[in-house]
Chains A and B, each alone.
Chain A
Amino acid sequence: MAVKFFGQFLVENSLVSREALIKAIDLQDQKNLKLGEMAISMGYVTQTEIERAHNAQMSKDMKLGDLLVEMGILTLNQLNDVITRQKNTHLYIGEALVLVGALSAEKLQQYLADFKADQAQYVSERIELPGSIANNLVWEMTADLTYKMITRVLDLQFRPGKCQTVTTVDSNFMMAAMDLSGDVEARYIISVSEAIQKSVAKAILREDTVDDEPLEVLEDTVMEFVNVVCGNVAAKASQMGVIMEINPPVTIHPPATGLSVPTGHTGLCFPIHIGEDNKMELIIFIKS
């Protein structure tokens, strides 16, 4: 029911053992050279030059390859050669499992097809963002996965509204937020009305009624929904080559005047239309 990577799918379904998976991952670690290692093996750079670039990375927020080009150690063509060689020689987890004897080649094809079918529900659909937003594909995927989780986890029917850039977010009954860090920095927020909060609570707690539940539990269910979405967003981001760390969720009780987008951030608001008096929004504050 969640975004998974292939090895996890195999272990969860007892198709390979955890020990076999660890063995296959260790083999991948041995065979799949990192960018610096590959550049050395191709004779483009020396170990000393890689260490110099790693030291420079401490004060510069750049990927190693870009930094090697900027420092004049690699040409752009050489960098592209290294990346191509990395891609062409990459040992995938399925191949590694066959090599360590955990799977036959036939079983691998069958399980890959099963995995593809299992994950088909999370294939992203295109969502349009306004203007030029950095890492737009990540935020489009984030919105798309949020919509999919509203359907699958909350079982709510809705119509997504057009995404807009905002400087202030309208107030609402409550909001649950999670800070995202790593290759991208942002705050992910779900804003809900009182009625939507109860719908979320019913779905998360799997109860027909939540009228007697304390407010603490009701708020916790919205935070848990945010946690589930953001964890799955991080999983999908890692498949896109983007490292995203998540932090424990928090609740926000916005003032009547609304919530201002912090300085140095771009605010995106995705209205989620569920019905009259049922206000729900996905808001993302993206650090510029």
Chain B
Amino acid sequence: MMEKTVLINCSPKQKLSVSGFLMKCAGVLIRGKKEYFHLRTPADYPAILQALKGAGKVVFVTPLYVDSIPSHMLPFMQEMEELCRGNGLRLKVYVIANNGFIEGKQNEPLMQVMENFCARSGLTWCGGIGIGGGVMLNVERIMITVMFGLMLLNVLLSAVQGGDVLDAVLSFGKSLLGLVILACGIIAFGIRLAVHINRGTDAGKKYTRIMLPSFVFIAFADIFFIIVSVLQGGIFRGWLSRFQPDAGCSIITENGK
């Protein structure tokens, strides 16, 4: 009988997180019983810790925040350490990390932190993948959904007007292929990781990225932030200004005050 796998989305975002998407994708490839969780607040701890008691494997899917794990994960990890040490749990731990920069290798400090956590908790570190440019996966899934809708519309119109239905399908197929090529490294390493998770073996640490030259990715990222900043108004509110802390900034204790 296969051991249960617990998958934890560690993004603090409520919706549309890349980590949540990656967790669902990984879940499709992992066999056996699975449980999915979203770790955001201490209220989420009891259910996750309870699920871990009956599991053999756990997959943390997390964004990179300032070269490490997001801060809200730390108190959970401390509670998990206590639980595992107290109950002699020997879970196998896998990590899928993603970051907004193009280089997957920038996830290395986060991977080491998770490995150190395993050593402290008596867990088996089994590695994982670090993904660069993970935010593009969000763009891709939105594009695929829109393109699929357009294809259905084209097929319908072609059928009504007596046109070539196949043209619309082929056009969608070509666009889809382009998006798959951009994500081919992530798909390949994702499948490889899933094979290791299913076998319960050490996957090692592997780093991959969206298959775009970095200068093209940077151009896309800059355009994305310009558009969002125009829509949200930040561009008109001192977008790049060197703001000073207000006089009453309560977090500072200064000399002479």
Report whether chain A binds chain B: no
Query: Which A residues are closer than 8 A to B by beta carbons?
Result: none
